[in-house]
Amino acid sequence: MEINKTQVKKYGIIALAILLVIIIFQNTEPVSLEILFWRITMSRILLYPLIFLIGLGVGWYGFGKRNKKF
C-alpha cells in the first residue's frame, strides 16, 4: 500500500478540522476580550474561529509579501 503526499495532506487537514470542531464545542462559555478601550463579550465558540481566521489572513498576507520580494 503506497501513500502519496496528497493523501497525507488530505487526512492531515481532516484531522485538524475535526480537532478544531472538538475544541470549539468544548468552549461555549462567554468570555470578555479587551482591546485598548473596547470591551467585547462573546462566546468562545465565536471567538476562537474569529481569531483563527484573523491569524490565517495575517499569515497568508505576510507569506505572500515575503515571497514577492525574493
List, for residues 19-38, the tens digit of each pLDDT value: 988 887 887 888 888 889 88
Q: Residue 1's pLDDT is what?
A: 60
pTM, rounded to two decimals? 0.50
- ∠ CA 30-47-21, nearest 5°, is 100
Model pLDDT, residue 53: 92
Q: How confident is the model at residue 42 (pLDDT cuts 50, 70, 90)?
A: confident
Query: Which sign, positive or negative, has the C-alpha torsion 22, 26, 28, 29?
Result: negative
Helices vs. strands in the chain: H and E counts, helices first? 2, 2
In 3-state terms, the chain is what percent helix, strand and coil (to 5)?
65, 15, 15
More confident residue, 41 or 48: 41
